[in-house]
């Protein structure tokens, strides 16, 4: 399966603006990857940042550093609402800094305040994959707090159904599929005019 995408004719929708200056290739605006857990935001984000010579940051890793706890521990000790508040603060700090390639947690873009901030300060990319592929990926590890429930496959399907229309508000959409992460990164660069 190859990486495919959908976007308005100019390649960037909404208020995202150009992510880089074509003249010098340098990142002018943060590129924020959004999407369901397991779609490959961190893996594709690292490849994209490497190909652009830009810094890569994973918001979940930054949240863990700030809290001194894993995402799973934050969920267990403080609950999802407190996690989302911390997530919003960390993403705001990152978006107020120099341009980066940012991989966000699956629920970050769902929070209206965080989504608004990302739309204002970043070019957002919905990294999308088929549910069966996502399930195959997330089922390998036991580190997804939202899936620690009865029938986690159904929980994932329900999250996908509820979140997809919100993810669709991103500036561009790229299907990651089962292809190498470098292919999805290349498609993102092409859609943003960074080839």
What does the alpha-carbon distance between residue 68 and residue 17 come to, in Å, rounded to a whole number?
35
Q: Which of 22-36, 90-104, 164-178 has the lowest mean pLDDT?
A: 22-36
What does the block give as tokens for 47?
Answer: 């490849």
What pTM was computed for the model?
0.83
CA dihedral 102, 106, 112, 118 (to 10 degrees): 10
What does the alpha-carbon distance between residue 91 and residue 62 come to, in Å, rounded to a whole number?
9
What pLDDT score was predicted for residue 14?
Answer: 42
- Is residue 180 within 8 Å of 48, Cβ to Cβ? no
Does residue 12 register a pLDDT over 50? no
What pLDDT score was predicted for residue 52?
Answer: 94
For 4-191, the fitting CATH number among 3.40.640.10, 3.40.50.2300, 3.40.47.10, 3.40.50.300 is 3.40.50.300
What does the alpha-carbon distance between residue 1 and residue 96 come to, in Å, rounded to a whole number?
36
Q: Which of 2-6, 20-24, 114-118 has the lowest mean pLDDT?
A: 2-6
- Is residue 5 within 8 Å of 126, Cβ to Cβ? no
Domain range annotation of the chain: 4-191
Show Cβ contacts of residue 84 under 8 Å, excluding neighbours closer than 6 positions. Answer: 107, 111, 114
The DSSP annotation for 132-190 comes to HHHHHHHTT-S--GGG-SSSHHHHHHHHHHHHHHHHTTSSEEEE-TTS-HHHHHHHHHH
Residue 142 — very low, low, confident or very high, per pLDDT cuts 50/70/90? low
Does residue 23 register a pLDDT over 60? no
What does the alpha-carbon distance between residue 127 and residue 32 come to, in Å, rounded to a whole number?
10
Share of the chain above pLDDT 90, in %: 55
Name the average pLDDT for the chain.
84
Q: How many CA atoms lie within 13 A of 10 on its CB side?
A: 9
Does residue 122 register a pLDDT over 90? yes
Residue 151 — very low, low, confident or very high, per pLDDT cuts 50/70/90? confident
What average pLDDT does the segment 90-117 reach?
A: 95
Does residue 175 register a pLDDT over 80? yes
- Is residue 116 within 8 Å of 14, Cβ to Cβ? no
What pLDDT score was predicted for residue 6?
Answer: 40
Q: Which residue has the higher pLDDT, 58 or 176?
A: 58
Instruction: Give CA separation, 185 vs 23, 81, 124, 179, 180, in Å.
Output: 20, 32, 13, 11, 9
């Amino acid at each position: 399966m190859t990486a495919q995408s959908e976007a308005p004719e100019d390649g960037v929708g909404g208020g995202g603006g150009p992510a880089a200056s074509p003249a010098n290739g340098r990142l002018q605006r943060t590129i924020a990857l959004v999407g369901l857990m397991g779609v490959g935001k961190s893996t594709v984000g690292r490849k994209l940042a490497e190909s652009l010579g830009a810094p890569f940051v994973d918001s979940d890793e930054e949240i863990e550093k700030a809290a001194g706890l894993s995402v799973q521990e934050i969920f267990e000790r403080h609950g999802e609402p407190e996690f989302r508040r911390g997530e919003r603060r960390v993403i705001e700090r990152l978006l107020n800094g120099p341009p980066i390639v940012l991989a966000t947690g699956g629920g970050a873009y769902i929070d209206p305040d965080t989504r608004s901030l990302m739309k204002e300060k970043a070019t957002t990319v919905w990294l999308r994959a088929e549910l069966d592929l996502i399930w195959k990926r997330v089922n390998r590890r036991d580190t997804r707090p939202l899936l620690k429930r009865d029938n986690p496959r159904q929980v994932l399907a329900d999250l996908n159904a509820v979140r997809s229309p919100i993810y669709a508000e991103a500036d561009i959409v790229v299907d990651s599929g089962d292809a190498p992460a470098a292919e999805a990164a290349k498609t993102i660069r092409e859609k943003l005019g960074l080839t």
